[in-house]
Amino acid sequence: MLTCKDFLGWLNDYLDETADEEVKAQVKEHITNCVNCWVVYDTTKKTLQVYKGMEPKEVPEALRAKLLEALSKKCGKAVG
Ligand SMILES: [Zn+2]
């Protein structure tokens, strides 16, 4: 079972679709069961769609930090 921290580490790969099937399956399972991470996933995906075409497909560092912070607050503990 994926932890929220693992999820964040794999999110980039997952959205890039370069991840292994195993990784994809686990990420999918995690966001099905963890609403906080689903929100992070959804937000990141939408942001990436905006960024696509003008920047590399990586999550901007500032956004990543922001998401991590938001997630830590929601989870009530430090992640990342
Ligand atoms: Zn989670």
Cα 39 to middle of ligand 1, angstroms = 9
For 23-66, what is each residue's pLDDT tens digit? Answer: 899 999 999 999 999 999 999 888 877 766 665 556 677 778 88
Q: Where are the alpha helices (DSSP H) in 1-80?
A: 4-16, 21-33, 35-51, 61-75
Q: Report if residue 32 sits inside a domain.
A: yes
Cα 56 to middle of ligand 1, angstroms = 25
Cα 10 to middle of ligand 1, angstroms = 12
CA-to-CA distance for 68 and 80, rounded, in angstroms? 7
Q: Report if residue 80 sits inside a domain.
A: no
CA-to-CA distance for 54 and 32, rounded, in angstroms? 30
What is the pTM assigned to this prediction? 0.62
- Note down the domain range covering 39: 4-75
- Which of 9, 2, 1, 3 minimizes the C-alpha distance to 67? 9
CA-to-CA distance for 62 and 80, rounded, in angstroms? 14
Q: Report if residue 66 sits inside a domain.
A: yes
Look at the chain and report how many structural domains it folds into.
1
